[in-house]
């Protein structure tokens, strides 16, 4: 929006004559600037601490007002649709311009944009983009040429090559100049509609997205047929359940939709089919707001990061979506399906925020309220149209009856000898006087004047029988119109059903409503890497194919648990290569599994030997946990792990001692069933004070 120029004098009007202002430059208050001005406007800075508050300067006031004006303008005139017709101003002006141009033939989009610039104070490219957006929704415009592809993201051809016109459906629901409220265009030269008299929940059918200053709007598109059925339910006093429907189809979980109100959201998935080939997946439908190219890019990015493993991907999309995902040998299609949903754009979450303009201000609402408003608004417009139609029919009946009497009773002959206009009027009034009680409203001088305008040819060809039949037809139409006004809800229901019959074919629901099970990223990750361990150097990772020993398959999202010879333990995220120290045991860490560990360790360099059985429980990643008493020089002499408590308790260990004076036996047998399984911080049970040679399991 253009900003008004600043008067040079205004730039200096910072209250320099104010007694509280600094006396002259170079004083102690030399650093005082605009921040020392007291302001009441929220967009102008307050007075600096310790300085005397002062009145807001003229420049600050102007900037504050300009920001508020700009914010209001963007909200009301750019980004947010009006609740009455569900259109943004640019869309409304385009449709109005196309209606003026309409002659039944297709018009170049470039010409339409040029016509619309008479009403919309912005560049033609912005108007062209809005026209293309309307055309791609295939509802209000009939199009010809390359209008782009919503699925692939391909752009439309240049506006000089593509054509459009108002569709039959738009003619049916959008326009009626007799009940349209008009306003002057931005330059005051043209008239444009404040809102169009839309007789349909257009806002919910098309959906809308806009970002303004301080707020945003996102209303998802809904199914054409379901909206008509829902509007009928609203007219009958019931509350329908509405869920979005997308032209790109796909699968939708709307359990958190919240009726489209602020804070609600849905999850949408691509439709992925498993083919007869075990290593091939076919994507035939994509999520709303995602293109095939962006979907392919997300799959390739996930593959590069090691989150999924694919051999290649082919985008064969033409009229219909078809993306082929080829998997490498050894990777089953069922294993990678969840990973595609978790790590790529095959599943997206869409937040909603139903915000519309009502009464010159934005309001936040929900889909059901919008549908009820649209149904009531349609009924009110139909009422206005019926009332206007009834008035026109009664006016036709009135003048046709007046004309019939004027001709049949040969009143026109009474004016043949009249020399003045006044004499003509008096003669006609005199001839009509006996029949004035037959009319439904008072006869006026304007009516009598119209009688004088009847041509002689019409009088000479007047047929009394045809006139009577015409009046009977008018009376029948008047009676029908009055009946419709008395039964307005039934009439509105019939109107909606007629729309459904005329335009509902081929608009059945495309998006399948279902529910998704939330899959954790760690669970969806496919084990495409090999975890390697260098037992001598203490390095662990999936990038050590030459220097390490392969341990197991892993994904790049896995955590590993490492038990070291010094009796410490750490859980870390797997990487290409990381140093941990001399490992005693390495495994993929699963917090849902609770294996039982058996450990025999020496406390310090020459201390006692202890045995304990324990479970790890909750841990913090990259935190070192000491499983011994913490004495420096401690060492693990034996370590083992079992999945169950029973397996751990069933084992027996033999502790071999080094020879020593007075030592009668060099072997100690440990029955693990006698050692209770506790937490990782437990010290354990003393085995011996003597030096231990080794510990082995009794087979």
Positions marked catalytic: 161
Give the burial string for 69-103 (b: 16+ CB within 10 Å, else e).
eeeeebbbbbbbbbbbbbbbbbbbbbbbbbbeeee
> Which DSSP category does 149 fall into?
B
Question: Shortest CA distance to 622 belongs to which of 576, 559, 533, 531?
Answer: 559
Angle at which helix 367-408 crosses helix 224-235, to 10 degrees, equals 70
Query: How far apart, in whole angstroms, are the C-alpha atoms of residue 521 and residue 336?
Result: 12
Q: Residue 508 — φ and ψ, nearest 5°?
A: -70, 165
Torsion of CA 55, 61, 67, 70, to 10 degrees: 150
DSSP string across 91-116: HHHHHHHHHHH-SSS-EEHHHHHHHH
Q: Which of 437, 432, 423 is nearest to 403 (CA)?
A: 432
Tell me the backbone φ, ψ of residue 336, rounded to 5 degrees. Answer: -95, -10
- Note whether 47 and 54 are within 8 A (CB): yes
Radius of gyration (Cα) for the chain, nearest Å? 42
Q: What angle do CA 625, 629, 635 make, to 5 degrees?
A: 80
Strands (E), 167-232: 181-184, 191-195, 208-211, 216-219
Phi and psi of 623, rounded to 5°? Answer: -100, 130
Helix (H) or strand (E) holding 490: helix 488-503
**Cβ atoms of residues 333 and 281 within 8 Å:** yes
Tokens of 75: 């909200």
Give 115-118's long-range contacts (Cβ < 8 A, gap of 24+): 116/90, 118/185, 118/189, 118/190
Q: Which of 227, 345, 213 is nearest to 286 (CA)?
A: 345
Q: Give the tokens for residue 129.
A: 């983009």
Strand-pair category, 251-253 with 265-269: antiparallel
The three-state secondary structure class of 469 is: helix
The distance of Cα 654 from the centroid of its chain, to the nearest Å, equals 66
The token pair at 70 is 């700009």
């Amino acid at each position: 929006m253009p900003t008004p120029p600043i008067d040079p004098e205004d730039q200096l009007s910072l209250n320099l004559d104010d007694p509280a202002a600094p006396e002259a430059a170079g004083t102690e208050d030399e650093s005082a600037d605009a921040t020392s001005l007291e302001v009441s406007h929220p967009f102008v800075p307050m007075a600096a601490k310790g300085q005397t508050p002062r009145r807001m300067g003229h420049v600050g006031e102007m900037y504050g007002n300009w920001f508020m004006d700009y914010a209001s303008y963007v909200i009301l005139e750019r980004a947010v649709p009006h609740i009455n017709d569900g259109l943004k101003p640019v869309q409304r002006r385009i449709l109005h311009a196309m209606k003026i141009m309409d002659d039944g033939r297709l018009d170049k989009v470039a010409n339409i944009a040029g016509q619309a610039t008479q009403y919309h104070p912005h560049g033609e490219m912005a108007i062209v983009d809005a026209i293309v957006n309307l055309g791609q929704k295939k509802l209000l415009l009939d199009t010809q040429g390359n209008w782009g592809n919503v699925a692939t993201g391909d752009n439309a051809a240049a506006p000089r090559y593509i054509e459009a016109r108002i569709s039959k459906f738009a003619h049916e629901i959008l326009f009626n100049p007799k009940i349209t409220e008009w306003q002057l265009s931005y330059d005051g030269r043209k008239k444009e509609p404040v809102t169009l008299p839309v007789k349909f929940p257009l806002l919910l059918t098309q959906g809308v997205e806009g970002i303004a200053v301080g707020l945003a709007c996102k209303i998802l598109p809904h199914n054409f047929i379901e909206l008509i059925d829902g509007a009928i339910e609203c007219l009958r006093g019931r509350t329908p359940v509405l869920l979005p429907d997308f032209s790109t189809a796909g699968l939708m979980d709307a359990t958190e939709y919240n009726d489209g109100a602020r804070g609600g959201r849905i999850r949408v998935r691509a439709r992925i089919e498993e083919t007869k080939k075990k290593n091939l997946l076919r994507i035939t439908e994509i999520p709303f707001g995602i293109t095939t190219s962006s979907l392919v890019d997300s799959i390739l990015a996930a593959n590069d990061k090691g989150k999924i493993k694919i051999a290649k991907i082919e985008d064969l999309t033409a009229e219909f979506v078809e993306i082929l995902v080829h998997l490498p040998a050894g990777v089953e299609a069922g294993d990678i399906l969840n990973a595609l949903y978790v790590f790529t754009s095959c599943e997206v979450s869409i937040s909603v925020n139903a915000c519309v303009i009502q009464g010159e201000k934005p309001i936040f609402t929900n889909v059901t309220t919008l549908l009820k408003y649209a149904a009531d608004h349609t009924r009110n417009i139909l009422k206005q149209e019926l009332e206007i139609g009834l008035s026109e029919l009664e006016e036709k009946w009135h003048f046709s009856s007046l004309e019939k009497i004027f001709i049949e009773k040969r009143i026109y002959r009474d004016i043949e000898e009249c020399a003045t206009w006044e004499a003509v009027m008096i003669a006609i009034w005199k001839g009509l006087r006996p029949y004035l009680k037959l009319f439904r409203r008072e006869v006026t001088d304007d009516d009598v004047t119209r009688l004088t305008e009847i041509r002689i040819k019409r009088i000479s060809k007047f047929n009394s029988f045809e006139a009577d039949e015409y009046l009977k037809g008018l009376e029948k139409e008047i009676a029908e119109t009055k009946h419709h006004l008395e039964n307005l809800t039934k009439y509105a229901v019939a109107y909606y059903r007629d729309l459904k019959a005329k335009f509902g074919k081929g608009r059945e629901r495309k998006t399948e409503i279902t529910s998704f099970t939330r899959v954790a990223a760690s669970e969806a990750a496919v084990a495409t890497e090999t975890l390697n361990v260098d037992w001598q150097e203490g390095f662990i990772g999936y990038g050590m194919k030459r220097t390490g020993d392969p341990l197991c398959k892993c994904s790049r999202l896995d955590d590993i648990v490492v038990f070291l010879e010094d009796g410490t333990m750490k859980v870390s995220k797997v990487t290409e290569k990381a140093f941990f120290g001399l490992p005693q045991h390495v495994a993929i860490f699963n917090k849902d599994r609770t294996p039982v560990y058996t450990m025999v360790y020496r406390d310090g360099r020459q201390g006692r030997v202890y045995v304990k059985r324990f479970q790890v429980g909750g841990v913090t990643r990259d935190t070192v946990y000491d499983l011994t008493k913490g004495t420096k020089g401690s060492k693990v002499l034996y370590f083992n792990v079992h999945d169950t408590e029973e397996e751990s308790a069933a084992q027996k260990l033999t502790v071999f001692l080094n020879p020593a004076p007075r030592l009668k036996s060099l072997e100690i047998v440990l029955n693990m069933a006698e050692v209770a399984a506790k937490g990782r911080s437990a010290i354990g049970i003393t085995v011996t004070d003597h030096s231990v040679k080794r510990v082995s399991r009794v087979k």
